[in-house]
Structure 1
Amino acid sequence: MSLQVRRRLGAADVMTLLNATLGVVAMVVAVTVGPTAAARLVLLAAITDALDGIIARSQGGSEVGPLLDSIADVVSFGTAPALFLYVATRDAVSTALPAGIPLAGTVEILAVSAVPAVFVVFSLVRTALYTVHVGEEENRPGIQNTLGASILAAGYLAGVTMPAVLLAAGVLLSLMMVAPIPYPKLRARDAGLMGLVQAGAILAPAVAQRIFPRLLLLAALAYMTLAPWYYWAE
């Protein structure tokens, strides 16, 4: 039996696969190059995630599209930002551990991987529950894992690099993914504006005193804190 890949996958699915590819590259880059480059790739993956939805709405999606999208989200907005967090905080966490503790190597591994693991698990839970239990037209409980990943990436590019702040943000955003708070979809106009700012944060993160990542971080935090009460989508 053939999988009939060419017949069963559409243009939106190709963009979804590009999203997943960027997530994997971001993980490799986080380890080999550093967290700044990884953060830019996570934001680029978020743009492709938005584009696959636009293509699916305009050209129609495939039967496998929603499942592919969910899997890609876990790769790019669960695992990739978790590895970014690990690289950005591991030295500080390792240094903070007391000297001479028993099983020092094991304790260090557990300590530096704890928050990244929590982020992946909550992203996975949120994606699975949303896929099965939330309809397309319903407000979405909890923040999108795309938003959580974008806040971490934009924050780092904006200059928020203190390990304690990054770790605290990782825990908070993990909890927000499954919070029982309904979030409306962004209006097309607002999504387009955020996409332009996001592109600026990717292409020129340091220009004009980090203006693009700072604007993106401000917009993302405003949506996370205010949208359930003061934002109405089309």
Structure 2
Amino acid sequence: MWVPGEQAGMGFEVSRRLGVADTVTLVNAVVGFVAGAVAFADLHLAARLLLLSVITDALDGIVARGSESSAVGPLLDSITDVVSFGATPSLFVYVLLVERFGTVTETGPAMGVAITLVASAYVVFSIVRTAFYETYIETADGRPGMPNSLGAIVLSTAYLGGIHHPIVLAGVMLVFSVAMIAPFDYPKPGPKHVTPVGVVLALAVLAPDALYQFGPRAVLVVALLFFLAGPRYYWAD
């Protein structure tokens, strides 16, 4: 008779197998989930929480480099990215479109299906990219396809920077959805660039309206430049 834990020999042993960096990764999942839930009530706050999730994601990488990484860490990070930077942006777009066109009971089933398909595209392509990356891609330096966190950054900073038109934002996210499986290698940003961008990201989270929305608008410009020119002109070192 099968006994729970017998096949593995020692069970999950979560407290022993998870490291400090993994805890930060799971905090990222919580922040991303909360951002998705908050989007239904307050898109402005949801955008700020989404950027906070980006910061948390960067922190777990810093912590992982400073301590011994667990065996499950990379997979946890990939799954969390799908939650925070795949599902949450899709929910954000869904709320934008529903606020503009109405719910399925108000617009009819055809429009409701269209809204759902457009909004869910980002999480679907994010899942596909993550699955292919975990299965077929070995190097972490050059990653085929746009990282899903980049789309999350553009969406949230655009909204905080004053771009609220649902068609525009949904259209941008559709383009970014396809970009996640495009045959372009996106480099991993180096520490000398991550730190200053992180400072401006923090400003966008804490005071998004300060200095004529400088924080979100500055990050938006940097993110768009990286999206357009990163595969060809960026070198992490």
Alignment TM-score, normalising by the size of structure 2: 0.91
Aligned to 2:75: 67
The partner residue of 2:152 within 146, 149, 152 is: 149
CA RMSD of aligned residues (A): 1.6
Secondary structure of 1:183's match?
strand
Shift of 1:61: 0.9
Aligned to 1:56: 64
Secondary structure of 2:108's match?
helix
Q: Which amino acid aligns with 1:3?
A: F
Q: Does 1:110 align with 2:119?
A: no
Q: Does 1:38 align with 2:46?
A: yes
Secondary structure of 2:71's match?
coil
- Percent identity, aligned pairs only? 45
Contact 2:140–2:188 (Cα < 8 Å) also in 1: no
Aligned to 2:18: 9
Shift of 1:94: 3.7
The partner residue of 1:206 within 201, 209, 231 is: 209
Q: Distance in 2 between matches of 1:134 and 1:7?
A: 28
Q: Distance in 1 between matches of 2:101 and 2:90?
A: 15
Contact 1:24–1:76 (Cα < 8 Å) also in 2: yes
Runs of 4+ off more than 6 Å: none
Q: Does 1:89 align with 2:92?
A: no
Q: Which amino acid aligns with 1:49?
A: D
Contact 2:47–2:160 (Cα < 8 Å) also in 1: yes
Q: Which amino acid aligns with 2:45?
A: A
What does 1:84-233 align with in structure 2 at a 5 Å threshold? 84-94=92-102, 105-233=108-236
Alignment TM-score, normalising by the size of structure 1: 0.93
Shift of 1:145: 0.4
Contact 1:34–1:87 (Cα < 8 Å) also in 2: no
Shift of 1:147: 0.7
Report Cα offsets for 1:131-169 as digits up to 9, x if no partner.
Answer: 222223441111110111111111111111111101111
Q: Distance in 1 between matches of 2:228 and 2:76?
A: 29
Q: Distance in 2 between matches of 1:66 and 1:192?
A: 22
Report Cα offsets for 1:74-123 as digits up to 9, x if no partner.
Answer: 1000001110111122132349x9x9xxxx53223212212211111001
Q: Distance in 2 between matches of 1:5 and 1:137?
A: 26
